[in-house]
Amino acid sequence: MKLTVLGATGSIGVSTLDVVARHPDRFQIIALTGHRQIEVLAGQCRQFRPLHAVVGSAADAQRLIALLRADGVTTEVHYGTQSLETVAALPEVDAVMAAIVGAAGLSPTLAAARAGKRILLANKESLVMAGAVFMAEVREAGAVLLPIDSEHNAVFQSMPHNFGYDLPKAGVRRILLTASGGPFRSMSLADMAAITPEQAVAHPNWSMGRKISVDSASMMNKGLEVIEAHWLFNAPAEKIEVVIHPQSVIHSLVDYEDGSVLAQLGNPDMRTPIAHALAWPQRIDSGVSSLDLCSIGQLGFERPDPVRFPCLDLAYRALRAEGNAAAVLNAANEVAVAAFLDRRLPFLAIAKVIAAALDEVSVAPLPDIPAVLEADRQGRAAAEIAVARYAR
């Protein structure tokens, strides 16, 4: 299988390449992309010798070229959004790992869909922002969409193989997405007012990037996953529930009409869903150790606290509103999280900024990508105004 890895220098990209390196006879890297971590990308190019590499700017492209040519690596280096789209749709590429974080991942992931690729979707924003448009492109081009988020991959594994996007016909009563609860699950609201970026990015179970770690701490990540599950499995909001499971061993569950509940379990390591999607419908070694239930001892479950985690309710609000609401939600969250990481915004104000943006931008249909991008722009503009209002 020939692969393009979008976002190769991030945590998902690094884990993907770890799995690929275990099966050199099975996978070939055609293209790798990274934004600013040029040294890391250079090391990946030295190891995997892709035909193409893509970075964010012309200056970074020249820097990468110098690093690679000094070691005799002939990888062609490109830069910019158009180049991301190009390597996602190369004729020789069989599958695309879509692991660019945030709205920046939409256009190359959409290019992969239009080219009919097998898409290993780790960029949930593609569905949150443009679910209807994106899924229509997948269906029209005959692309194969395999979820990488551990929760959605678990649901995918727990569904009937041919459920056909029809939950009632498949006998599914509801989807249960598990959440770790993040580092602040038991913290008082008074203490949460003083949360620092360092605390928010220190996830107790998972190794993730800074933005996703903050989303996990606020439970916005779970809210985005609710919206993603809606599009992946054609599930209405009332059929998707969230349950806090601090051990992160059960990655999600599917509740059936006959009373059966099927779940996927495993150690909290993203290489498991990555390996599953890379080899599907077969199974391969991921490098993840076997789960030892006896050493874990007990598995706990809680309902999410809407007072401590208002971002989850905001995501349900956006999903039920339909149209551009989810795109506005995602844009506002990106702005608010960036402001928090820059120490301009208190942690508890992230939800306030998102709510203000949803209040400010009127709900409207999203018939195409230009409308998606306009909703993203409006959401960011409204969020920036709200950040100024709630700034430290």
Q: What percent of the chain clears pLDDT 90, i.e. is strictly above it? A: 89
Q: Tell me the whole-structure pTM to 2 decimals.
A: 0.92
Task: Write down which residue in 147, 163, 185 finishes a domain.
Answer: 147
Instruction: Quote the DSSP letter at residue 302.
Output: B
Q: Where are the beta strands (DSSP E) in the chain?
A: 2-6, 28-33, 52-55, 76-79, 95-98, 118-121, 144-147, 172-179, 240-244, 250-256, 261-265
User: Distance between CA atoms of 383 and 390, rounded to whole angstroms?
Assistant: 10
264-278: per-residue pLDDT in tens?
Answer: 999 999 999 999 999
- pLDDT of 206 reads 61
- Asked whether the beta carbons of 32 and 45 are under 8 A apart, the reply is yes
User: Distance between CA atoms of 51 and 352, rounded to whole angstroms?
Assistant: 45
Residue 275: inside a domain, yes or no?
no
What mean pLDDT is predicted for residues 66-79?
97
301-342: per-residue pLDDT in tens?
Answer: 999 999 999 999 999 999 999 999 999 999 999 999 999 999
Residues 6+ apart with CB under 8 A from 186: none
SS3 content of the chain, % helix, strand, coil (to 5): 50, 15, 35
CB atoms near residue 178 (< 10 Å): 24
Residue 348: inside a domain, yes or no?
yes
104: pLDDT confidence band, cut at 50, 70 and 90? confident
What mean pLDDT is predicted for residues 231-260?
96
Both tokens assigned to 48: 């995997």
- The count of structural domains within the chain is 3
Task: Write down which residue in 119, 147, 175 finishes a domain.
Answer: 147
Residue 296: inside a domain, yes or no?
no
116-166: per-residue pLDDT in tens?
Answer: 999 999 988 889 999 999 999 999 999 999 999 999 999 999 999 878 889
Residues 10 and 77 in one domain: yes
Residues 101 and 179 in one domain: no
Both tokens assigned to 205: 């179970």
User: Distance between CA atoms of 75 and 197, rounded to whole angstroms?
Assistant: 37
